[in-house]
Amino acid sequence: MSQQSDDLTRKRIVFHVDLDYFYAQCEQVRKPELRDKPVAVCIYSGRTEDSGAVSTANYAARALGVKSGLPIIVAKRIAAGRVEFIKADLDYYESVSMRIMAILRSCSSIFEQASVDEAYIEMHDISYGKAVAIAEDIKKKILEAERLTCSVGIGSNKLMAKMAAGFRKPDGLTLVREEENEKFLEDMQVGDIFGVGKVTEAKLNEMGIHTVSELRSMDLYTLQSKFGSSMGIWLYNASRGIDDEAVKERQREQYGKIVTLKSDTRDANTILSAANEMADEVATMVRADNQMFKTVSFIGILEDLSIRSKNKTLQEFADSGEAISGVMGELVERFLSEHEGKLRRIGIKVSNLSERKMQKKLWDF
Ligand code: DCP
Ligand code: CA
Ligand code: CA
C-alpha cells in the first residue's frame, strides 16, 4: 500500500471545539488593558462583599493558584494585588457564545452545542489531513470574528474528540487517529476519561484500578456486575476509545429568568409585578426559537437561599407573556401560603416545550 493513512477518507470524523478560559478571555477582548494580566471572573452571591466563587481564570491567574470553583475570599488571599478580579457578565458571554455557535453550526449539518463554550461537529468522508485543515480554518474564523482562541480535538467519535481537545490547551489542535485511540488513553487515569465521575473513579480505585490500561484489563462481565449493565459496557468501551453517541442538536427544555428583588419581601403585589415584568421577555425568547410552552413556574429564592417553586400546566400550548402573567397571581399566592419567610430573588420559568407547527404559521395569515 503506497497510500498514506492520512489520504484515506474516513467514514466519520468528530471535532470538539472548546473555547479557552472562556469568560476571562471574553473580558480581555473587550478590555484590552487586561490583555497581559492575570484575570479571574467571579460570580458574587451578594451575601457579603466577597462571598461567591471564581467561575474561571485565565492561564496566568491559574499559575498563581486561582481557578474555577475557588471561593473569592480564598482567591483574593492567595493572589491579592496580582490578579484582576472581575464580576461575571453572563449576558455578554452568552451573546459571544451565540455568535460563535452560529459560525460552528455553519460548518456542518451535524452539530451539537454541548455547553456555553463547546460544541461537536461531525463530518463524513474526509481524510485526517483535510480534517486538520478544517480545524485550522475553524480556529482562524473564531479568531477573526471574535478575537478568541479555542482548542480543537479531532477524533473518530465524540469521546475521542473531547479528550483530544483537552490534550493541549490553550490554542491547541490535537488529532487522534482511530488506530491511536488505545495508545492515546492508556497512561491516563480513569478519572481523566470524560464521563467518569468522582464516584465511579473512587470505586475503580478501590478495586485497584487507576490507569485506563488497568481498566482495559477488566472483563466485561466483572465491570457489569460492579457498575450495572449500561455503565459496565460504557466503561469497557470508553477504555478502548469506543463511543457511538450521536452528534445531535440538543433541544432546549426550558426558558426562564431570575432577578434579585430590591429588598427582601413577601409582599404579594411587589413580587407579582416583578414576576410579570419578566413574562414578556421570557415569552419573546420562546417565540424567537419557534417554540411554545405548556407549563409555567414561579421560583422563589428565600432569605436562607433555599429555592422553592410552584408550577401550573396550561390547557393549551402558549407563547405569550399574557399566558405567563395569567397564572402568575395564583402561583405567587400558592407560594406564599406554603412557604414562610421573605423572598430574596424570584424567577419565572416555562417548560414542557413543543416546537411551533408550520400549520400554525399558515393559519396566522
Ligand atoms: N464555569 C463556571 N464555573 C465552573 C466552571 C466553568 O462558571 N466551575 C464557566 C466559566 C468558564 C466556562 O464556564 O469560562 C467554560 O468552562 P470550561 O470548563 O470550558 O473552562 P474555561 O473555558 O474557563 O477554561 P479552559 O481553557 O480550561 O477550557
Ligand atoms: Ca473552555
Ligand atoms: Ca467547556
Radius of gyration of the chain (CA): 24
Residue 64: HSE in the Cβ half-sphere, 13 Å Cα cutoff? 20
Q: Check if 67 has its Cβ closer than 6 Å to any atom of ligand 1.
A: no
Measured distance CA(299)–CA(334) in Å, rounded: 11
Q: Check if 151 has its Cβ closer than 6 Å to any atom of ligand 1.
A: no
If you count them, how many residues does the chain have?
365
Do residues 66 and 83 lie in contact, with contact meaning Cβ atoms separated by under 8 Å? yes
**pLDDT on residue 253:** 85
Q: Check if 319 has its Cβ closer than 6 Å to any atom of ligand 1.
A: no
Find the helix or strand (DSSP H, E) in which 118 lies: strand 118-126
Map grid coordinates 474564523 to a residue: 141
Map grid coordinates 470538539 to a residue: 16
Q: Check if 68 has its Cβ closer than 6 Å to any atom of ligand 1.
A: yes
- Residue 119 has φ and ψ, to the nearest 5°, of -150, 155
Q: Check if 21 has its Cβ closer than 6 Å to any atom of ligand 1.
A: yes
User: Which atom of ligand 1 is the closest one to the Cα of 117?
Assistant: 15
**pLDDT on residue 129:** 96
Phi-psi map region of 78: left, alpha, beta (phi>0 left; psi -120 to 50 alpha): alpha
Long-range contacts of the stretch 235-239 (C-beta < 8 A, 24+): 235/196, 235/200, 238/159, 238/193, 238/195, 238/196, 239/185, 239/190, 239/193, 239/212, 239/213, 239/215
Q: Tell me how far the alpha carbon of residue 275 lies from the centroid of ligand 2, in angstroms.
A: 33
Q: Tell me how far the alpha carbon of residue 306 lies from the centroid of ligand 2, in angstroms.
A: 30
* Secondary structure (3-state) at 298: strand
- Ligand nearest to the backbone CA of 96: 1
Q: Check if 181 has its Cβ closer than 6 Å to any atom of ligand 1.
A: no
Which value, to the nearest 10 degrees, does the dihedral of the CA atoms of residues 231, 234, 235, 237 take? 160
User: Which atom of ligand 1 is the closest one to the Cα of 20?
Assistant: 26
Q: Tell me how far the alpha carbon of residue 278 lies from the centroid of ligand 2, in angstroms.
A: 30
**pLDDT on residue 150:** 98
The pLDDT profile of the chain, 365 residues, written as one tens digit per residue, is 444 556 678 889 999 999 999 999 999 999 999 999 999 999 998 778 889 999 999 999 999 999 999 999 999 999 989 999 999 999 899 899 999 999 999 999 999 999 999 999 999 999 999 999 999 999 999 999 999 999 999 999 999 999 999 999 999 999 999 999 999 999 999 999 999 999 999 999 999 999 999 999 999 999 999 999 999 999 999 999 999 999 998 778 899 999 999 999 999 999 999 999 999 999 999 998 889 999 999 999 999 888 999 999 999 999 999 999 999 999 999 999 999 999 999 999 999 999 886 544 444 44
Q: Tell me how far the alpha carbon of residue 21 lies from the centroid of ligand 2, in angstroms.
A: 5
- Ligand nearest to the backbone CA of 166: 1
- Ligand nearest to the backbone CA of 56: 1
Residues classed as catalytic: 118
